[in-house]
A and B are shown apart, each in its own frame.
Chain A
């Protein structure tokens, strides 16, 4: 069974730029969530995708958007990057109807 994978592992951007992060779900998982983890904090829920549609969103502005593809992989897009967007971005996948979420290794984003 393949675990959750994310790319890239690290990324450096400048303020105002746009970024796309990618996630491949664990085999058999059809629901993907994205979380933002600032240094020294717990992960914060950004949004969840099921059947290629967003079906839950946390307190993040619209410049955070996502996509889920038919193979259940997912993208997180962030426009107009701000310094406070610097964080570890985590993708988690699960089977619909079950609670347990499995996390990928994350993408470390640094905004300068």
Chain B
């Protein structure tokens, strides 16, 4: 059972545009929602994370929007640049000692074209 659904699978955005990736979760016990960026041949790198007590978090060009009632959250990349081309994963975890695993979405391959 996939507990975190991510869309789209791939995304092409023009340089300077806004990239939007969406995720939905099922388990209401999740209380931490990070986004990871992964380049080919590398491990995932933490980009930005949010907890469900806030509806939005912004760090530079990256913004997470969170809708607790809909159990959805999204990543917005403003002024997208070619260097942002990578695979992005949303994830979720719960603060439960011994059960702190990250549950990942299936990933979105983002390509920024000039």
Contact = CB atoms under 8 A, between A and B. Distances in A.
Contacts of B36: 103
Nearest to B36: A103
Contacts of A33: 100-102
Interface string B86-107: 0001010101011111111111
Interface string B9-22: 00000000000000
B114 interface: no
B42 interface: yes
Contacts of B83: none
Of A33, A45, A58, most B-chain CB atoms within 10 Å: A45
Contact of A99 (B42, B45, B95): B95
A48 interface: yes
B34 interface: yes
A106 interface: yes
Contacts of A58: 101
Contacts of B93: 99
Contacts of B102: 33, 35, 43, 45, 92, 101
A48 B42 contact: no
Given A56-B98, A90-B44, A42 B34 contact: no
B49 A100 contact: yes
A102 B45 CA distance: 7
Given A41-B106, A41-B107, A42-B107, A99 B44 contact: no
Given A40-B107, A41-B106, A42-B107, A104 B101 contact: no
Contacts of A35: 102
Contacts of B97: 55, 96
Report the 5 A-B pairs with minimum CB-CB distance, sorted nearest first.
A42-B104, A45-B101, A103-B43, A99-B32, A55-B98
